Amino acid sequence: ADSLAQFFVLWLNLKACDKYQVEPWAHFIKLYNLLIQQIELNSDHIELVRDYASLERVSQQGKLAAFACVEEGGFIRDLGQLEQAYQLGVRYITLVWNYESHIAVPSCIDQTRGLKSFGYQMVERMQQLGMLVDVSHLADQGVRDVLRIAKLPIIASHSNARVLCEHTRNLSDELIRGIADNGGVIGVNCVPYFLDSEDKTIRLAKMVAHIKHIYQIAGEDVLAIGNDFDGFSSRSSADEIKSIADLPKLVAALQNNGFNERVIEKIFHGNVLRVMKTLVF
C-alpha cells in the first residue's frame, strides 16, 4: 500500500517473560534490535524516524517512515528506562496489555481500578518527553485517570465503540467524548469480536457503524484507523478486509455512507498527523 508512515509495535507478554525468566526490558531490547535490523536490511525503502521533520524528509525521498512503539508498558520499571526508550526512538507506549502491572489495571481484569502510583509518574513523564500515551487495553478508570492528568493529546490506538459491541476492550461513550475533548484520537480496528459480539467476520458495514457512532457523538477530529491486523489470529474467507491493501474498500464504504473526502482524509491520516505535530514532534 502507498503509505506515508507506519507504527511498528513491539508487543511484550509479561507472563511469558516471567515463565521463561526473561527480563521485560531485555526482551524489549531484543525486539527493538530485530526491528532495527530489518529496517537496515531494507534501507532503500524504509527508515526509522523520531520526529515530524524526519517523517517529511523520508517521505520526500519516497521511503516509508517507521515509528517504533511498544504494546505493554510493563517493560518500564523506572523513569530512567522510559527516557532510554525515548532516546532509542520509541514514540508511543500502550500502558498495559492484558495483565495487571505496576503501572495500571487492564480492562479485561477490573474496569473500576486504574493507574497506580508509578503509572501516574510514567504518564506525566511521557508527556513531558513528547511520547504518545496509548490507553487501549486500559481499564475505564485508568482512562479517566489519564484524561484527568493529561495536558496534551492521548491516543486509543485500537479501540471501538462499546455501545455497538459490548466488550471490555471497547470504549464507552463517556470515554470517547473524553478523548475527543482532550484532542486525542481513537483508532477504529477491524478485530471481528470488537466489531460485533455475534458475527466473527470482518465486515465493512460494522467498521463503518463504529466510525459513524464515534463521529456522531464526538466529532470528526477524534477518528483514526487502527486495524490491529497482527493482533488476532482468527480469519475467515468471508472477511471483507484481509490486509492493508483492502483499505480502499473502507474508503468507498465511508463515501457511500455520506462521508466526504475532507473527513475521510482526516480519519485515515489527518487527525493522527495533527496529534503528532502537537505532541510528539
Cell matching residue 102: 505496576
Task: Please spell the DSSP secondary structure of 69-115, one letter per residue.
Answer: EEE-GGG--SHHHHHHHHHHTEEEEES--SS--SSB-BTTT-TT--B
**pTM for the structure as a whole:** 0.96
Identify the domain containing residue 196 by its residue range.
Answer: 156-281
Domain count for the chain, please give it: 2
Shared-domain flag, residues 234 and 246? yes
Find out whether 48 and 39 touch, Cβ atoms under 8 Å. yes
Find out whether 3 and 63 touch, Cβ atoms under 8 Å. no
Can you give the pLDDT at residue 274? Answer: 94
Shared-domain flag, residues 193 and 148? no
Can you give the pLDDT at residue 232? Answer: 72
Shared-domain flag, residues 148 and 160? no
Distances (CA, A) of 42 to 57, 69, 132, 181: 17, 19, 26, 40
* pLDDT, block means (10 residues), the chain with 281 residues: 86 96 98 98 96 91 96 98 97 97 98 98 96 97 98 97 97 98 97 91 95 98 90 77 91 97 97 85 52
Shared-domain flag, residues 14 and 134? yes
Burial group, residue 195, by CB count within 10 angstroms (0-12, 13-18, 19+)? buried
- Dihedral in degrees, nearest 10, Cα atoms 71, 75, 81, 83: 10
Shared-domain flag, residues 94 and 211? no
Nearest to 90 by CA among 45, 143, 46, 32: 32
pLDDT tens digit string along 147-185? 999 999 999 999 999 999 999 999 999 999 999 999 999
Can you give the pLDDT at residue 281? Answer: 52
CATH number of the domain within which 194 lies: 3.20.20.140
Last residue of a domain, one of 119, 152, 185: 152
- Give the DSSP letter of residue 172: P
- Give the DSSP letter of residue 238: T
Find out whether 25 and 73 touch, Cβ atoms under 8 Å. no
3-class state of residue 225 by DSSP? strand
Shared-domain flag, residues 147 and 166? no
pLDDT tens digit string along 227-264? 887 767 667 788 899 888 899 999 999 999 999 999 99
Residue 28, Ramachandran bin (φ over 0: left; ψ between -120 and 50: alpha; else beta): alpha
Shared-domain flag, residues 277 and 165? yes
- Dihedral in degrees, nearest 10, Cα atoms 18, 23, 28, 34: -90
Shared-domain flag, residues 121 and 168? no
